Structure 1
């Protein structure tokens, strides 16, 4: 089941624990981090890049609007304000906040806000994911990668390889690196045939392989940027078939 990454910011311990409990009980949410300060919230959100940010408006060292300013250009998910005061509502929606939870709120109101933030259920997510099959593209040079409620448009040929790291996939491209929260298993569904998985944590762009070294014990791949990778036994047969296909 697809889960949406959530970060919660609240400087009141009991309130924070209550929201965390609601997230943990929600089948489509995954708690990725918490913070009790504006400074900590900015750092946490910029590092994790969650799908959803639940944040109390008034914090001891600032407010939610300061957090929004600090994460601008790094966070592109949905924001839900949680607060005991309603006089910030108009300003909240002015900065693009998805919903406004007034304390104390119950689980039903919480789930309604999260439904609005995700804007899709599990079935719809997979329908959208399937629609991004590269064979259906009218623009073959562009690869659309879904990440929770967001979509990224990447130039396919600039991607050299993709390495997983925990919950994230590191896209190593010509001149830059992009980190997205998506599994390699899901990526295999949207990547074209020239992207070949060689082990549990690595997918390579065949067109960026510089050298292939085969011997009895291992298969070593040297990429155009000089980085080296090994093909694990479980992926060796599929890798060899893919190479045969491109060498015809």
Structure 2
């Protein structure tokens, strides 16, 4: 491993701890009305509280409320920024700025990077990058598609923001078609195996690529991806929607 890679790995370890602390503190600044709206949009609200059946379901609710809330709610990360007292130029300040500017996208996982992080490419454009996340390629075969928000505290250190959702061609097709949120039962399922050819067929036409790019650049895209994954069962069982034994 090169000296540069060792430096990147060391920086990632420090930034990961700072990111966790900032996001935890910001999550305590979410108004109940905002939390309820995000959870309702994802069918994870029982009328009184968030009812996740999996830690990642809770993570996506907080991801929206902290970084990109639906409705007229202000972002909890902005309230956290006003409360922070990090010196300009410090790692704490750079991580906070990176979280405030983080952007959501679709990524294909290519495998571990020998010098640290995970090799990936944007979908469908194929722009390569190395994403730093200890769990991104765990139980995911090369070619797997995920939705994740990326922050860059340093330009050479793209990091996830805590919520990573597994997807497949069924999810991309629903997004392209503009399929509205579903209300029916949710049966847990795994992403389709060896799904690469089906994904490529969906974006063969330039119009489909333009449509997906337009969606990715529009408000609410992350919420639409999360809800699609939930409706397809890609995020496991859903309380109140998964039948007993489902």
Same fold by TM-score greater than 0.5: no
Q: TM-score range by the shorter chain?
A: under 0.3
As a proportion of its length, which structure holds more helix? Answer: 2
Q: Is the strand fraction higher in 1 or 2? A: 1
Between structure 1 and structure 2, the one with the greater Rg is: 1
Higher relative contact order (CA 8 A, sep 6+): 2
